[in-house]
Chain A
Amino acid sequence: MPFQKKEFPDKFAALSKEDKVGLLRTMVRIRAFESRVEELFLNRRIPGFVHLYIGEEAIASGVMANLSKNDWITSTHRGHGHAIAKGAQIHRMMAELFGKTTGYCKGKGGSMHIADFSVGMLGANGVVGGGYNIAVGAGMSSMIKKTDQVAVCFFGDGASNRGTFHEAMNIASVWKLPVIFVNENNQWASTTPTSFATSVARIADRAKGYGMEGYTVDGNNVIEVYNAAAALVEAARKGKGPALLECLTYRIKGHYVGDPEKYRTKEEVQKHFTENDPIIRYADWMKGKGLIDDAALATMKAEAEKEVADGEKFAEDSPLPEKEDAYNDLFSFSPSEFPEVVK
């Protein structure tokens, strides 16, 4: 997939060895979580629909390494990776998937709504294109309160065809809001390829229509993602306004776990996975630089798997909600204070 490259300053080079390893660890933790969630779903331990982030880990990891807990993100239906990279705890995410009271949303949200609001997540979203304007609002609060907080809105290639995209991009641009729109172009929107449904080859080109900077990077190269996000986030912090960053990647798994994937071949998927796994690519690069060796990588993976297993145990041991809990949390006070709740 050819695209015009922009050379961003190599901020990555200045990272400590620890931070460089940290980027890999985030990716590995996301992969471990998602792989286990897939198994749990297939074993009918998790209900509903689950959309996996496998193969797209470099984007969340590379972007989030430029944000602090005071910065915000809005996530999507494919949001577990965003949550982990933003600092959500795996055991509480797992508890949410198990519908337990100890989950981030006390079991009210589930896979598509897992969010840790304490680390700056403004919700995941089951409605495609639902996050843009929430990010815009967060950017407004930063502008009005005169803080240097930045909001990052993650969205899919399919989501870029929603009407909300247009309104959000325009308003963010005219108001010069500190919002970075991070497009995760995984080449599929459920069963249709991006090229089928999208009027431009590069979603970054759409930025022009809003007087905004738009760039495309290799979303499976965490260093490229990191450097691009570093430049755009820093500019937004300094009041230079919004930007659109398109990260090219590939959706390795079905749209949801259980998707029969009638619309593409196994060979196509396998080719992307073997040739372009963001974790292998970055790990190989690090090995070449002597930043990590096979033993350390194996340890990292084992630790991530243990963290997930511990999280699962925590989730299993946690209590299910009482049925009356269904009435709580509708408003910001309890139902006894609000007798009009219709039961």
Chain B
Amino acid sequence: MSNERELTMAKAIAEAISQEMERDQHVFVMGEDVGVYGGIFGATQGLLSKFGPERIMDTPISETAFIGAATGAAAEGMRPIVELMFVDFFGVCMDQIYNHLAKNTYMSGGNLHLPVVLTTAIGGGYGDAAQHSQCLYSVFAHTPGLKIVVPSTAYDAKGLMIEAIRDDNPVMYFFHKGLMGLGWMRYPERSVNVVPERSYTIPFGKADVKRPGTDITIVCLAMMVHCALDAAEKLSKEGIEAEVIDLRTLVPLDREAVIASIKKTHKLLVVDEDYLGFGLSGEIAAIAADEAFEYLDAPVKRLAVPNVPIPYSQPLEQFVIPSVEAIAEAARSLAR
């Protein structure tokens, strides 16, 4: 029975970190409110009492300092996990991420290894306005030198976190607030699933077909996986079978999975909670155009946040973030 237990994504992440900290003394955690509080979104809950304040370090509100310090500590053989509370705050420490963490391995001609995991919370839908609701993983995927992980379920979250910690490169690990299984925020039941107690890894660059289908391919990640699955259930009743592909990592990106699915369904819809312009949806559309053009029976459709900051007011926010209904409608118009 014990390996049949279900966990929330937050608990799965915390368990992954805990197991790796037991396995490897070099792993430690830094971030704001990661200690007693266990992380504002629960990613480090229970770790302080297990590992003490020397390895679970609350920090001052000094993101430049502690994210920069992760790079230095990693260069000297540590394996830091650092939390940037909301991805929206990346601007205050972007130089440390973009010009140092991401580039130092390359600029050193491969002489430097930087096993840093930078975790951060993403996503909107709960009225937290423009500085606390973005996804922005495309900004970091655009930056050469960072691996990009964006899980959608507890099972994936644990395996991907262990893989991230063991990776010798900088990995950015984005968890969606609405998937963490927090008491105060609604979350999809599916995000809570069976998580083995043993330690396991999920390789990067392997998308997961969350639902097989024959009529249309929906490529997505994080919260949009759940919205797409809900939409797929509706569509199924109408005789449209959607295949839902969860990318799970953006860098490396599983192009083959996208292309294979297009070859099967001949229709592609990309759904993204990040901005529409210059981002993930454009990248996937370009891959389809470059490598699967002759298999497409219709133009690629993209559904994402229009290029406006996330507004606070509920009707506005619900309008800009792709909804189950909007996904279903876009899929219908493609499948017709």
Minimum CB–CB distance from A87 to chain B (whole Å) comes to: 22
Interface presence of B215 (CB below 8 A): no
B143 within 8 A of A: no
Residues of B within 8 A of A128 (CB): 61
Nearest B residue to A105 via CB reads B312
Contact A190 B312, beta carbon cutoff 8 Å: no
The answer for the CA separation of A86 and B307 in the assembled complex, in Å, is 33
Q: Within 8 Å CB of A322, what residues of B?
A: 315
Task: Point out the residues of chain A lying under 8 angstroms from B307, CB to CB.
Answer: 330, 341-343
Chain A 320-343 interface 0/1 with B at a Cβ cutoff of 8 Å (1 = within): 111111110010000000000111
Contacts of A258 in B (CB 8 A): 184
Secondary structure dominating the interface of A: loop
> Bound state CA distance, A70 and B312, in angstroms?
28
A318–B335 alpha-carbon span in the complex (Å): 41
Residue B139 lies at the interface, judged by CB distance under 8 Å to chain A: no
Beta-carbon contacts under 8 Å, B21-38 to A: 32-33, 35-37
B319 is an interface residue with CB less than 8 A from chain A: yes
Residues of A within 8 A of B92 (CB): 127, 129, 162-164
Give Cα A330–Cα B275 distance, bound, in whole angstroms: 14
Task: Looking at the assembled complex, report how far the CB atom of B265 sits from the nearest CB atom of chain A, in whole angstroms.
Answer: 26
Q: How far is the CA of A140 from the CA of B118 in the complex (A)?
A: 37
- In Å, the complex CA distance between A326 and B128 comes to 15
Contact A197 B316 (CB under 8 A): no
With a CB–CB cut-off of 8 A, which chain B residues contact A330? 307-309
A112 within 8 A of B: yes
Question: In the assembly, what is the distance between CA of A164 and CA of B320, in Å?
Answer: 32
Instruction: Name B61's contact: one of A49, A161, A323, A343 (CB within 8 Å).
Output: A161
Given that A48-B127, A126-B132, A127-B89 are known contacts, is A162 also in contact with B61, CB under 8 Å in the complex?
Answer: yes
Closest to B128 in A: A48
Task: Assess the B313–A107 pair: CB atoms within 8 A.
Answer: yes
Give the chain B neighbours of A321 by CB distance below 8 A.
311, 313, 315-316
**How far does the Cβ of B25 sit from chain A's closest Cβ, in whole Å?**
25
Interface positions, chain A 93-136, Cβ under 8 Å from B, are 96, 99-100, 105-113, 125-129
Partner of B127, one of A110, A162, A326: A110
Q: A107-B311, A191-B33, A196-B58 are in contact. Are A48 and B129 (CB under 8 A)?
A: yes
> Taking the complex as formed, is A146 at the interface, i.e. its CB lies under 8 A from any CB of chain B?
no
Give A293 to B62 CA distance when docked, in angstroms: 47
A190 nearest CB across to chain B (Å): 5
How far is it, in angstroms, between the C-alpha of A184 and the C-alpha of B312 when the chains are bound?
Answer: 26
Residue of B nearest to A343 (CB): B306
Instruction: Report the Cα distance A191→B44, complex, angstroms.
Output: 14
Evaluate contact between A320 and B313: CB separation under 8 angstroms.
Answer: yes
- Cβ–Cβ < 8 Å partners of A126 in chain B: 88, 129-132
Q: Mark A163-181, 1 if CB is under 8 A from B, else 0.
A: 1100000000000000000
User: For residue A162, which residues in chain B have a CB less than 8 angstroms away from its CB?
Assistant: 61-63, 92
B236 at the interface (CB under 8 A from A): no
Minimum distance in angstroms from A156 CB to a CB of chain B:
8
A159 within 8 A of B: yes
| In the bound complex, CA of A263 to CA of B58 (Å) | 12
A5 on the interface (CB 8 Å rule)? no
Measured in the bound complex, the distance between the Cα atoms of B308 and A323 in whole Å is 13
CB distance A326 to B33 under 8 Å? no
**A residues within 8 A CB of B126?**
47-48
- Residue A198 interfacial (CB < 8 Å): yes
Tell me which residues across on chain B come within 8 A of A129, comparing CB atoms.
Answer: 61, 92
Does A158 have its Cβ within 8 Å of any Cβ on chain B? yes
A46 CB contacts on chain B under 8 angstroms: 127
> Which residues of B in the span 5-63 have a Cβ within 8 Å of any Cβ on A?
32-33, 35-37, 40, 58-63
**A270 interface hit (Cβ, 8 Å):** no
**Interface set, chain B 77-91, CB cutoff 8 A to A:** 88-89, 91
Residues 117-142 of B, flagged 1 when their CB comes within 8 A of A and 0 if not, give 00000000011111110000000000
Q: What does the 1/0 interface line of A287-327 toward B look like (CB < 8 Å)? A: 00000000000000000000000000000000011111111
**Closest residue to B133 on the A side, CB-wise?**
A48
B312, A110: Cβ atoms closer than 8 Å = yes
B277 touching A342 by the CB < 8 A rule? yes
> Which A residues are CB-close (under 8 A) to B308?
326-327, 330, 341
Note all chain A residues with C-beta closer than 8 A to B64: 163
Q: Does A262 contact B (CB under 8 A)?
A: yes
From residue B325, how far is it (CB to closest CB) to chain A in Å?
Answer: 13
Q: CB-CB < 8 A to A110: which residues of B? A: 127-129, 312-313
- Residues in A neighbouring B311, C-beta threshold 8 A: 107-108, 321, 326
* Residues from chain B with Cβ under 8 Å of A127 in the complex: 88-89, 91-92, 131
Q: Is B314 an interface residue (CB 8 A)?
A: yes
Q: What's the nearest-Cβ distance from chain A to residue B134, in Å?
A: 11
Residues of A within 8 A of B314 (CB): 47, 99, 320
Measured CB to CB, the nearest residue on chain B to A256 is: B40
Residue of B nearest to A96 (CB): B312
A260 — nearest CB in chain B belongs to which residue?
B37
For residue B276, CB closer than 8 A to chain A, the reply is: yes
B44: min CB distance to chain A, Å: 12
Within 8 A of B (CB), among A222-238: none
Scan residues 309-336 of chain B and give those whose CB is less than 8 A from a CB of chain A.
309, 311-316, 318-320
Q: Is the CB of B36 within 8 A of A262?
A: yes
Tell which of A113, A191, A326, A341 has the most Cβ of chain B within 10 Å: A326
Contact indicator per residue, chain A 34-46, by CB within 8 Å of chain B (1) or not (0): 0000000000001
- Please give, as numbers and ranges, the residues of chain A lying within 8 Å of B316 by CB-CB distance: 99, 107-108, 321, 323, 325-326
List 4 tightest A-B contacts by C-beta distance, closest first. Answer: A47-B127, A99-B313, A107-B313, A110-B312
Given A110-B128, A197-B58, A198-B60, 20 further pairs, Cβ under 8 A: A47-B127, A48-B129, A99-B312, A99-B313, A109-B312, A110-B127, A110-B129, A110-B312, A112-B129, A113-B130, A158-B60, A163-B62, A189-B61, A320-B313, A321-B313, A321-B316, A322-B315, A323-B316, A327-B306, A342-B277
In the complex, 15 of the A-B residue pairs with CB atoms within 8 angstroms, ordered by the A residue number, are: A48-B128, A110-B312, A192-B35, A197-B61, A198-B60, A258-B184, A263-B37, A321-B311, A321-B313, A323-B315, A323-B319, A325-B316, A326-B316, A330-B308, A341-B307
